[in-house]
Structure 1
Amino acid sequence: MPQYVPIQGFKQLEDALKVHAKNNCLIYMYFFGEKDSKGRSWCPDCVAVEELVETALRENAHPNALIYTVDVGNRDAWKDRSDNNKFRMPPYSLSVIPSLLRWNSVERLEGDQLLKPALLELFFNEAKSQGAAEKTVPCK
């Protein structure tokens, strides 16, 4: 079963990658807007795709993969177009949330693409067809 790694903010993401990326782990990253005390994001698009993405991760992600669930912060932090918002810069280059990407790969789904189950399934199958999944070892 994939291991979920909750991440809050850019620094935690960078710290997690320092630990996991060097082990050639298969890492999926799901970026979304901060959630309130009731578990609801300020981002309506994130709310709309949440159940579909969670189902796709549960049903299609490689069992040895790591799944980073990355909270990009509150609305003001996300909307910041300056260099302060490091999620918008390479290597992540996010232009929209929600976004789902595979680390060290060009595969990504953004925004309303995440509402399409067929695209979600294809996203995970792409890693399998490229052999990434076969090289995956359990990551800790």
Structure 2
Amino acid sequence: MPMKVSDATVSTFDTVFQKFISEAPKNKANLILFLADEDPSTSLSWCPDCVRAEPVIYKKLETSSDDVALLRAFVGDRPTWRNPQHPWRVDSRFKLTGVPTLVLWQNDAIQGRLEDHEAHIENKIDALVYGSRLEDHEAHIENKIDALVSGSQLEDHEAHIENKMDAPVSGN
């Protein structure tokens, strides 16, 4: 399924966020990625952690088979973000301390978050996005492996191999 992406700035956030919340029940995962604006002189984010994390996050979300919504919330330029009174630093819902910050939004609250120093780590992104569904999937795979290793399927396969090895080799 395609990832649904919305963009917001500090000034447009409330409107975009309300739409994001209203559409949340349609998605398996609803994420907000707080990140730095692009530096106009380089066309890259002024935040090196954002430059490192963004492609990893996008790759993980774009390959998901689930409906995923991503709200990219741009914090502004460096001086705007550095202000201790930045709206998302003081907002009790978000309490941001760094960028990038990837949050899982469910039931009108943050259910998990990855801060700047860990937002680029693939298995942490998976754990945040898929949570218990990932654990359920891993348990299902482990059960399948256990069944193959201990079950009759393995014994049947071994017997088949032994029969092949015991069969006479036809010569010319």
Distance 1:80 1:115, change over 3 A: same
In the other structure, the counterpart of 2:157 is none
3-state DSSP of counterpart to 1:11:
coil
| Separation in 2, partners of 1:61, 1:77 | 37
Q: Highest Rg: 1 or 2?
A: 2
Which TM-score applies when normalising by structure 1? Answer: 0.78
**Superposition deviation, residue 122 in structure 1:** 0.8
Q: 1:1-140 to 2 correspondence within 5 Å?
A: 1-7=2-8, 9-25=9-25, 26=27, 27-37=30-40, 38-60=42-64, 62-63=66-67, 65-82=68-85, 85-88=86-89, 89-103=91-105, 104-126=109-131, 128=133
Relative to its length, the structure with more helix (as a share) is 2
CA RMSD of aligned residues (A): 2.0
Give the superposition deviation at 1:61: 7.3
| More relative contact order, 1 or 2 (CA 8 Å, 6+ apart) | 1
Q: What TM-score do you get using the length of structure 2 for normalisation?
A: 0.65
Q: How many residues align?
A: 125
The alignment-based identity, stated in percent, is 18
Residue deviations 1:22-56 (CA, integer Å, cap 9, x gap): 34444211111111345300111111212111112
Unaligned runs of 5+ in 1: 130-140
Q: How far off is 1:127 after superposition?
A: 7.0
User: 1-side partners of 2:55 and 2:64: how far apart?
Assistant: 14
Runs (5+) with no aligned partner, structure 2: 135-172
